[in-house]
Structure 1
């Protein structure tokens, strides 16, 4: 059995609550003391990172999924001396393009104007590998989105509108950086994760096969194995 002991902060994605990390969290407990960051405190990226830091141990590893990757990078920007290593799952180090910003504004409007269910209808199919859309997983993701609700969903989009490009940050960090991505992710590309690994001096990339945007839910065993490997060996 591994004997590595670390503090690990887990940050969820846009449509996610604690459930997205449930499988990995239960299976890496012997190598890491896990702390969940709810990402519901404010609607700015700076404020979300400040909340993580206020509740985190003095030194910690951090894993951010999707939007949580943006938060994790902002945490690293604000307090590099506290972050031991970082895992970035299905995310990007690049700032939003004008098109992405427009899409976020449209999603905020949908939330404010009572079209949240329609938004989920369009959004959930983008998150999963096509083979996972007909089973229980799609329904579970939709229910997780309903638990998040339109107000928090909109606030998280507002926070992402304030985020920075983090490529320079990665170039100047000396901690282990692991980029993990589903091969068929429709929202963040394999190339973006290869870029993360190339930018970071101690970067590595891992690609999860038969998987869309949500490895912790779609391929939980593989995602957990990769996180354990990152925690112990990187």
Structure 2
């Protein structure tokens, strides 16, 4: 079995650096390429073309939308699904306005990176001053650069809540205790919509669970995955 890891907005494989050592028996690990396409469907198709025949699928935040599209495109290949700090809701009016602003910026406007304030606001209050975490998140964004920022910023997220019942593989949903970007209600919507799914809340973390609480994430995932094999 392999584990396919899908990062979130302006994040790369470094998102999982502290998680994969504790999940070694579920590897090898494959890191999804979300950096060349401008739609969720195209991202999912590219990931599937590069993925093993079957795998455990893990999607974080934006990657959760891609993960569910992968399940729709190739349900027989997904043996288990883990959704972390994500949602099935579509874009809000505020998000649509932000996309309009990005779309109307000339290509010549360079990407200056994710702001310290924006990154800090995604973290648990106890972690908001952790410069190591903030710098690590910003470094991922800088590596990906302006073209990826534009494509990912313009991604359309449609409301998928009516499609959740079609997911039949085992599913674990994880939420951060103080996630300001994705609410507990959104996690509960996923749980209610996906029959037989499990929902767990990880304490003392904000949105960036794989970075803020890797040990807790490992523990919860291992227990759940071990339970599937029992």
TM-score, normalisation: structure 1: 0.89
2:8 — aligned with what?
Answer: 13
2:79 — aligned with what?
Answer: 84
Residues 79-158 of structure 1 aligned to structure 2 (within 5 Å): 79-107=74-102, 112=107, 114=109, 116-117=111-112, 119-135=114-130, 136-158=132-154
Instruction: Determine if contact 2:10/2:148 at 8 Å carries over to the other structure.
Output: no
Once residues 113 and 34 of structure 2 are traced to their aligned partners in structure 1, the CA distance between those partners, rounded to angstroms, is 24
Give deviations 1:70-93, integer Å, cap 9, x for gaps. Answer: 110111111112111111111101
1:208 — aligned with what?
Answer: 202
Once residues 222 and 104 of structure 2 are traced to their aligned partners in structure 1, the CA distance between those partners, rounded to angstroms, is 40
Q: Per-residue deviation at 1:173?
A: 2.0
Once residues 183 and 90 of structure 2 are traced to their aligned partners in structure 1, the CA distance between those partners, rounded to angstroms, is 14
1:177 — aligned with what?
Answer: 171
Residues 21-60 of structure 1 aligned to structure 2 (within 5 Å): 21-60=16-55
Once residues 222 and 35 of structure 2 are traced to their aligned partners in structure 1, the CA distance between those partners, rounded to angstroms, is 27
1:189 aligns with 2:159: no
SS at match of 2:2: strand
Once residues 122 and 109 of structure 1 are traced to their aligned partners in structure 2, the CA distance between those partners, rounded to angstroms, is 24
Q: Per-residue deviation at 1:123?
A: 2.4
Once residues 164 and 111 of structure 1 are traced to their aligned partners in structure 2, the CA distance between those partners, rounded to angstroms, is 26
Q: Per-residue deviation at 1:25?
A: 1.3
SS at match of 2:195: coil
Query: CA RMSD for the aligned pairs?
Result: 1.9
Q: Per-residue deviation at 1:31?
A: 2.7
Once residues 145 and 206 of structure 1 are traced to their aligned partners in structure 2, the CA distance between those partners, rounded to angstroms, is 28
After superposing the two structures, state which structure 1 stretch, 144-153 or 108-117, moved more: 108-117
1:66 — aligned with what?
Answer: 61
Uncovered stretches (5+) of structure 1, i.e. residues with no partner? 1-5
Uncovered stretches (5+) of structure 2, i.e. residues with no partner? none
Do the aligned partners of residues 82 and 178 (structure 1) sit closer, same or farther apart at CA in structure 2, a change above 3 Å counting? Answer: same
Q: Per-residue deviation at 1:110?
A: 6.1
TM-score, normalisation: structure 2: 0.90
Give deviations 1:95-132, integer Å, cap 9, x for gaps. Answer: 11222222233345569463633752442123211221
Once residues 71 and 91 of structure 2 are traced to their aligned partners in structure 1, the CA distance between those partners, rounded to angstroms, is 19
Do the aligned partners of residues 208 and 104 (structure 1) sit closer, same or farther apart at CA in structure 2, a change above 3 Å counting? Answer: farther
